[in-house]
Amino acid sequence: MEFDTIAAISTPSGEGAIAIVRLSGPKAIEIADKVFRAPSGKVLASQATHTIHYGHLQDPWTEEVVEEVMVSFMKAPKTFTREDVIEINCHGGIVSVNRVLSLVLRAGARLAEPGEFTKRAFLNGRIDLSQAEAVMDLIRAKTDRAMDVALGQMEGRLSKLIGTLRQALLESIAQMEVNIDYPEYDDVEEMTRPVMLEKSLWVRSEIERLLQTSSQGKILREGLSTVIIGRPNVGKSSLLNSLVQENKAIVTEIAGTTRDIIEEYVNVRGVPLRLVDTAGIRETEDIVERIGVERSRKVLKEADLILYVLNYSEALTAEDELLFEAVKDMDYIVVINKTDLPQKIDLGQVQQLAGNKRLVTTSLIEEEGIDQLEESIAELFFEGELEAGDMTYVSNARHISLLHQAHQTISDAIEAAEMDVPVDMIQIDVTRTWEILGEIIGDTADDGLLNQLFSQFCLGK
Ligand SMILES: Nc1nc2c(c(=O)[nH]1)N(C=O)[C@@H](CNc1ccc(C(=O)N[C@@H](CCC(=O)O)C(=O)O)cc1)CN2
Ligand SMILES: Nc1nc2c(ncn2[C@@H]2O[C@H](COP(=O)(O)OP(=O)(O)OP(=O)(O)O)[C@@H](O)[C@H]2O)c(=O)[nH]1
Ligand SMILES: [Mg+2]
């Protein structure tokens, strides 16, 4: 496909050592040669591809020297976009990089839209849609694991699996086609159903396996919503501060210190947590605190993990028991804090209320027990599959929704086959499944979807 030539700043805005202005398109080299002067006097068009050149940028109209640069020169098709690509490495000042961009725009390039370079890599067939989406996940990854998942997807792991599933569906569609075209052969009909059923059952089980990884995938990308709860003054804010290793939340001896929720991202042994400190949940007259308590109840409902803090040096109260009741169906870890003080809590009673949940004792003041808590969090979420490096993770809301749809249509096909519905009816569901899976990799994606997806990208990517 032939497009116009686009340009954008591909490095973050702000001061840095070096910044890059990238150009892609049929006129990239011509535009670069309009403004670039090498000491040798050679034009880029005469150079070997994939080489880098020192020189200056000169405004061709005023002949003023604009910048001192290194220019990378990459001829299509072995480039990021599969088009001719020029990368101008300039000094990383805000003025400098904007001057370079404005110069190439005046020389004939168009300002790229967000994600347009990656969109071209997709439209020119270098990557498929799920790989393009992985490029964005990679940039946004907040942990090593999230980055590994994105990298795997970028290398086409998910695409390959989807491709295999679609191939199986295609084979059974072909078989049904023969059946529809030659209805007079009964033996074809006899063969069609078992073949179709076997393949469909396999496709469905693979879709189920992918969907199972999706909740883990979401956690990897967004962080596990982890809510710290407990009565006032037990040490909730102190716990947040210990886990983020910074004094983010205010800690005082006054009960009711935290009035509203406080959010922090932390990485606990590879588990990304979106840690939420709450106002202690309790009945209160104070209007500000009451709003805080209401919000606490709300975040509690949406939590993936709860850290329930108790005071080692106080007996359990009716409020504590109510909290145990409120979280009984959720994943939680009991943190018994202030072990440096004399014991007043009945540990047997806690054990009974907590059932099979994990218990950890800490003294946040003495910095004790935090290791064990981190260990428990990691164990809870990396038990089993998450450790396996070669799993195909699905972490994208769009993919998850399409997989659910595909699961539905293939189940319809299986049910129909088992009920002796005519083959041409079954074929409709199988074909629909094939199409839905195609949307994941962008094989059957429309313009509106593409524009919406790529517009979420960073400018210059
Ligand atoms: N300077 C710079 N650094 C960068 C990028 C870039 O565009 N520019 N990238 C931007 O994200 C990433 C690297 N990703 C890239 C992915 C593919 C190709 C590419 O040219 N692929 C061709 C040829 C491969 C080959 O030489 O064998 C291809 O797949 O056909 C280039 C960069 C990270 N670092
Ligand atoms: N002795 C002792 N004191 C602690 C420990 N952890 C926290 N504290 C103290 O307990 C008090 C309350 O701590 P916070 O972290 O503010 O408690 P909180 O649960 O956030 O309290 P609210 O926001 O008021 O609900 C502070 O004075 C802390 O220094 C501990 O392990 N041992
Ligand atoms: Mg607090």
**pLDDT at residue 387, rounded to an integer:** 39
Q: Indicate if ligand 1 lies below 6 Å from the C-beta of 324.
A: no
Residue 232 CA to ligand 3 centre (angstroms): 7
Confidence bin at 105 (pLDDT 50/70/90) = very high
359 vs 136, which has greater pLDDT? 359
pTM of the model: 0.68
DSSP string, 348-382: HHHHHHHTTSEEEEEBTTTTBSHHHHHHHHHHHHH
280 labeled part of a ligand binding site: yes
281 vs 22, which has greater pLDDT? 22
Pairing between β-strand 271-277 and β-strand 224-229 as defined by DSSP bridges: parallel
Domain covering 154-219+393-454: architecture: Up-down Bundle (1.20)
Alpha carbons 89 and 74: distance in angstroms, whole number:
14
Which residue from 80, 88, 454 has its CB within 8 A of the most atoms of ligand 1, so it is best to mutate?
A: 80
Residue 369 CA to ligand 2 centre (angstroms): 15
Q: Indicate if ligand 2 lies below 6 Å from the C-beta of 146.
A: no
Statement: residue 432 has pLDDT above 70: yes
Q: Going by CA atoms, what residue is nearest to atom 23 of ligand 2?
A: 258
Chain centroid to Cα 106, Å, comes to 37
Confidence bin at 389 (pLDDT 50/70/90) = very low
Per-residue pLDDT of 151-195, as tens digits, reads 888 989 899 999 999 999 999 999 888 888 877 776 766 778 888
Alpha carbons 440 and 403: distance in angstroms, whole number:
8
Alpha carbons 63 and 411: distance in angstroms, whole number:
69
> What are the C-alpha distances in Å from 328 to residues 81, 291, 318, 322, 355?
52, 24, 15, 10, 9
Mean pLDDT, the chain, rounded, equals 87
Give the tokens for residue 60: 């061709």
Q: Going by CA atoms, what residue is nearest to atom 13 of ligand 1?
A: 80
Q: Indicate if ligand 2 lies below 6 Å from the C-beta of 292.
A: no
The closest alpha carbon to 121, from 154, 160, 89, belongs to 154
User: Which atom of ligand 2 is the closest one to the Cα of 258?
Assistant: 23
* Ion ligand 3: protein residues whose beta carbon lies under 5 Å: 236-237, 257-258
Q: Where are the domains of the chain?
A: 6-127, 154-219+393-454, 223-390
Region label for 256, one of left (φ > 0), alpha (ψ between -120 and 50) or beta (otherwise): left
**pLDDT at residue 386, rounded to an integer:** 37
Confidence bin at 264 (pLDDT 50/70/90) = confident
Summarize the confidence of residues 373-387 as an average pLDDT.
71
Q: Indicate if ligand 2 lies below 6 Å from the C-beta of 234.
A: yes
User: Which atom of ligand 1 is the closest one to the Cα of 50?
Assistant: 26
**pLDDT at residue 445, rounded to an integer:** 74
Question: Considering the chain, what percentage of its residues have pLDDT values greater than 70?
Answer: 90
Q: Indicate if ligand 1 lies below 6 Å from the C-beta of 295.
A: no
**pLDDT at residue 299, rounded to an integer:** 76
Max mean pLDDT range (125-129, 138-142, 286-290): 125-129
Burial grade of 233 (CB within 10 A; 0-12, 13-18, 19 or more)? buried
Domain covering 6-127: architecture: 2-Layer Sandwich (3.30)
Alpha carbons 69 and 71: distance in angstroms, whole number:
6
Summarize the confidence of residues 447-456 as an average pLDDT.
82
Q: Can you tell me which residue has the tokens 């599933």?
A: 165
Residue 244 CA to ligand 2 centre (angstroms): 16
Question: Considering the chain, what percentage of its residues have pLDDT values greater than 90?
Answer: 54
Confidence bin at 384 (pLDDT 50/70/90) = very low
Statement: residue 455 has pLDDT above 90: no
217 labeled part of a ligand binding site: no
The closest alpha carbon to 260, from 291, 225, 238, belongs to 291
Provide the 3-class DSSP secondary structure of residue 460: coil
Strand ranges across the sheet with 332-337: 262-268, 271-277, 224-229, 305-311, 332-337, 358-362
256 labeled part of a ligand binding site: yes
Q: At the fourth CATH level, which superfamily is domain 223-390?
A: P-loop containing nucleotide triphosphate hydrolases (3.40.50.300)
277 vs 390, which has greater pLDDT? 277
Among 55-59, 242-246, 384-388, 399-403, the range scoring the smallest mean pLDDT is: 384-388
Rg of the chain in Å (alpha carbons): 29
Q: Indicate if ligand 1 lies below 6 Å from the C-beta of 79.
A: yes
Give the tokens for residue 145: 């694991």
Looking at the DSSP bridge assignments, the partners of residue 306 are 227, 332
Q: Indicate if ligand 1 lies below 6 Å from the C-beta of 42.
A: no
Q: Is the dihedral of CA 393, 396, 398, 401 positive or negative?
A: positive
Statement: residue 7 has pLDDT above 70: yes
> What are the C-alpha distances in Å from 43 to residues 56, 58, 63, 406?
12, 13, 17, 53
Statement: residue 197 has pLDDT above 60: yes
77 preceded by a cis bond (ω within 30 of 0): yes
Alpha carbons 262 and 208: distance in angstroms, whole number:
36
In this predicted complex, what is the ipTM?
0.65
339 vs 453, which has greater pLDDT? 339
**pLDDT at residue 103, rounded to an integer:** 97
